[in-house]
Amino acid sequence: MTLSTQMNQQTQLREQPGFPFVIRVLWFFLVGWHVTLWWVLIAWFFNVTILGLPLGLWMLDRVPLVLTLRLQRSYTVTRLSDGRIVESWYQNVPQYSWLVRAIYFVLIGWWFSLIWSLLAWLFCLTIILLPVGILMLNRLPAVTTLMRH
């Protein structure tokens, strides 16, 4: 990319609209916590297989959405000088290197994520520990692959 092309780009941060709080609460109690258990178990099964690993990681990254309809906060939109639009997630959040994240996943993430998510799901069954369980499930991508949001 040339310097003139870089100068002609326009970048902006867009907020993604979320679901109303009442809808998210109803979703959690009527659907979310039931489906989340099966979602996590299926994702973990995919993580054990080599061919299913990308799908399993994708599913674990979406656990907050399945649990409480929590959307990711924002994304970056870059309009290039030729009219194309590039959208990117996590652009402003520094990530660990791919190698560090891969080694962590192979040694710790794949088995610890199952223990973490099942414990969090059990916390969601109690009223007192419900906030802790939701917080733990929201942190599941970081526990699995050190992904920062």
Q: What's the pLDDT tens digit per position in 74-108?
A: 555 666 667 666 655 545 667 888 899 999 999 99
Largest CA distance in the chain: 58
pTM: 0.70
Contacts of 131 (CB under 8 A, 6+ apart): none
> What is residue 3's predicted lDDT score, i.e. its pLDDT?
43
Q: Which two tokens stand for residue 129?
A: 């520990």
**Which of 71, 76, 72, 79 lies closest to 88 in space, CA to CA?**
76
Please give the Cα distance from 90 to 97 (Å, whole number).
14
Whether 72 contacts 149, CB under 8 Å: yes
- Tell me the average pLDDT of the chain: 81
Stretch 100-118: mean pLDDT: 92
